[in-house]
Amino acid sequence: MLILLRQGKISKWFSGIGQEAIAVGAALALQDDEWIMPLHRNLGVFTSRNMPLSKLFMQWQGAQEGYSKGRERSFHFGSREHHICGMISHLGPQLAIADGVALAHKLKKENKVSLGFTGEGGTSEGDFHEALNVAAVWDLPVIFLIENNGYGLSTPTREQYRCISLVDRAKGYGMEGVQIDGNNLLQVYDTIKGIREYCIKHQKPYLVEAITFRMRGHEEASGTKYIPQELFDLWEKKDPVKNYEQYLLAQGVLSAEEIENIKNETKNKIEQELAIGMNIRPVIADTEEELNDVYAEREVRSQKSGVRILDNSDLHSDPTAIGSGPDSYRGATSDLRLIDAIKQGLHQSMEVHENLILMGQDIAEYGGAFKITDGFVTEFGKSRVRNTPICESAIVGAALGLSLEGYKSMMEMQFADFVTVGFNQVVNNLAKIHYRWGQQADVVIRMPTGGGVGAGPFHSQSNEAWFVHTPGLKVVYPSTPIDAKGLLIAAINDPNPVLFFEHKALYRSVSGAVPQDYYEIEIGKARHVMEGDEISIITYGSGVHWAEDYAAEHSEISIDILDLRTLLPLDYIAIRDAVQRTGKVVILHEDTLTGGIGGEIAAWIAENCFNLLDAPVMRCASLDTPVPCSVELENNFLAKARLGETINKLLSY
């Protein structure tokens, strides 16, 4: 690797020289179908899982024939076939994915563990703490393996943490831990093998701290000037490969000649594989393939026995049907509030999908902050309706881990505001994983959102635009009970990560007829709420109700209303139609103005529908301030306060 790097034949590489015993010993101690979450220094995991070297060489050249179609660098890729979960650069988030996989094993009652790597530097991340805490609280069979090599880039351990040994932290989490010589291959192998059995037998996690040393720079370019030479001299004597060789010689397991033969065979194999691996074609960008690979394709839906499946067309077979009622639907309906419709959609999904797991703070016996899962635990049991510690990042990561093992999951953010502490997992792990190495993230995150409830800056935010800007996610935002149920069911059936926004102020204030059947509303399709020919209001969420109220109070204006329902992907055909109907458009949203989705839609209309416009597109959004608490301030903050003014301005243009 070092030679190839110097020859410019592979791109960036992080050396594991001096640390080989940990990756190799740990990988060999596990079964081949047990997931490992390796990091940048763990070449030994990839080779121990017998990945073809030729394909690895292709990966390291950034070739399309590698493991990530040329989309990822060095070791940032995974392979389902080899049960290796590709890392994201952020290090710590890998550990919570191991939690999710271990949870899947526990639920399936399989005798398996997962194993997550971290450097000692990565242990300072909150993700380390969250992952260990969740594993301990949920009694998950997962091995956390710290490779303590003395430095995190240039930062020595004394500037990284204050405890004497990192393994001492195990006690704080309520788990067992052990410190081992990470340069002794047999010790690593034996320890991990024994711990694996312990984790399976006792259904518990385990923390291992393997002491080692990094014999080269963080990566080759950054050098090693900050490390005293004595340390290299000391650790050179402890080289894991040389010492193992000596051991085998001393024990009479191998002769000097046999060792020489093994080396030659290995060298020849590397040369042969390299010759194949160098035989790559130049990367050819295919925009369509690039875009298509961002999302997992949904399998054709199969009708489960006993479940009547309706879709959008059953409910609205007349494409000009107006309003949110089940226009053409002849089946039984109930008059439900938005919150009840969500509850029903979730409940039916739990019945249909035995592999659907719900996770969130206080969602079990307590029924959730808004009582959406009230009663679920009695019916579906605590293993499927799971209270979580206050560890948003780890729970999103665990949801991804469940997905690796074929589970679906729904995580309830107690309030959409708290997604900030799970943000990295959402936008970097869930969103990018399919594009990076073809793994789906079958996860729905429910996001109780929005203001108008006097709850102040941290319980009222509209943060949907953050996610609309993230390729790989889907963002859904219903405004009516019938849509909320059908869209939630569709979100759960979708194999991609979906952020499902539920407006808190609409939970109990909006109701309507909802089919009792299990049905879907198609993600990505807007709803034409009201026909008009003077002005089009394109909106979603609470904006739909503000627009409807305004139209009811101003019958003198012919108002057309479009409810987007999904914000990613946007329904551009419906947007175009709305522009065409009136030529005058207001985009209305509760989110603040700058960087809100209104700007995106306005730009798209300007680029694509300019000839249909009779006036500039106007945006009506909330003030560019945090959400204030006092009712007077909040009323002034919300976009609704400026809707009439915006409409008048547009009409008089």
Ligand X SMILES: Cc1ncc(C[n+]2csc(CCOP(=O)(O)OP(=O)(O)O)c2C)c(N)n1
Alpha-carbon distances, residue 523 vs 85, 87, 363, 478, 499 (angstroms) = 29, 30, 26, 10, 12
Instruction: Write the DSSP assignment of 407-442 as a string of letters.
Output: -EEEEE-SSGGGGGGGHHIIIIIITTHHHHHS----
List the catalytic residue out of 76, 129, 434, 459: 459
> Any idea which residue has 């049991």 for tokens?
381
* Closest residue to ligand X using C-beta atoms: 119
Tell which positions 380-419 bind ligand X, by CB under 6 A: none
Q: Where does this chain touch ligand X (CB under 6 A) — which range of 113-121, 413-421, 445-453, 547-555?
A: 113-121
Q: What is the Cα 393 distance to its own chain's centre? A: 10
Q: Are the beta carbons of 389 and 440 closer than 8 angstroms? A: no
Residue selected from 62, 66, 119, 448 as contacting ligand X according to rule CB under 6 A: 119
Quick one: 124 or 334, whose CB is closer to ligand X?
124
DSSP-derived letter for residue 86 is P
Quick one: 120 or 483, whose CB is closer to ligand X?
120
In the complex, least distance from residue 182 CB atom to ligand X, rounded to whole angstroms = 11
Q: According to the binding rule CB under 6 A, does residue 121 interact with ligand X? A: yes
Q: Which helix (H) or strand (E) holds 486?
A: helix 481-493
The contacts of residue 143 (CB under 8 Å, 6+ apart) are 26, 98, 113, 114, 115, 116, 192, 195, 196, 199, 205, 206, 208
Q: According to the binding rule CB under 6 A, does residue 91 interact with ligand X? A: yes
In the complex, least distance from residue 231 CB atom to ligand X, rounded to whole angstroms = 14
Quick one: 160 or 536, whose CB is closer to ligand X?
160
Active site residue 459: yes
Q: According to the binding rule CB under 6 A, does residue 120 interact with ligand X? A: yes
In the complex, least distance from residue 567 CB atom to ligand X, rounded to whole angstroms = 28
Residue selected from 90, 193, 469, 576 as contacting ligand X according to rule CB under 6 A: 90
Q: Where does this chain touch ligand X (CB under 6 A) — which range of 115-123, 172-180, 188-196, 343-351?
A: 115-123
Residue selected from 4, 21, 23, 41 as contacting ligand X according to rule CB under 6 A: 41
Q: Where does this chain touch ligand X (CB under 6 A) — which range of 119-127, 391-399, 408-416, 600-608?
A: 119-127
Residue selected from 11, 50, 89, 255 as contacting ligand X according to rule CB under 6 A: 89
Residue selected from 18, 62, 122, 368 as contacting ligand X according to rule CB under 6 A: 122
Listed in order, strand segments (DSSP E) in 199-327 are: 206-211, 309-310
Quick one: 151 or 206, whose CB is closer to ligand X?
151
Q: According to the binding rule CB under 6 A, does residue 217 interact with ligand X? A: no
Exposure class string for 37-65: b at 16+ Cβ within 10 A, else e:
bbbbbbbbbbebbebebbbbbbbbbbbbb
Q: According to the binding rule CB under 6 A, does residue 152 interact with ligand X? A: yes
Smallest Cα–Cα separation from 124: which of 84, 83, 159? 159
Q: What gap in Å lies between CA 74 and CA 433, rounded to an integer? A: 16
In the complex, least distance from residue 218 CB atom to ligand X, rounded to whole angstroms = 6
Residue type, 177: G
Exposure class string for 551-564: b at 16+ Cβ within 10 A, else e:
beeeeeeebbbbbb
How many residues sit in the footprint of ligand X (CB under 6 A)?
A: 15
Known catalytic residues?
459
> Which residues of the chain form contacts with ligand X (CB under 6 A)?
41, 89-91, 119-122, 147, 149, 151-153, 214, 218
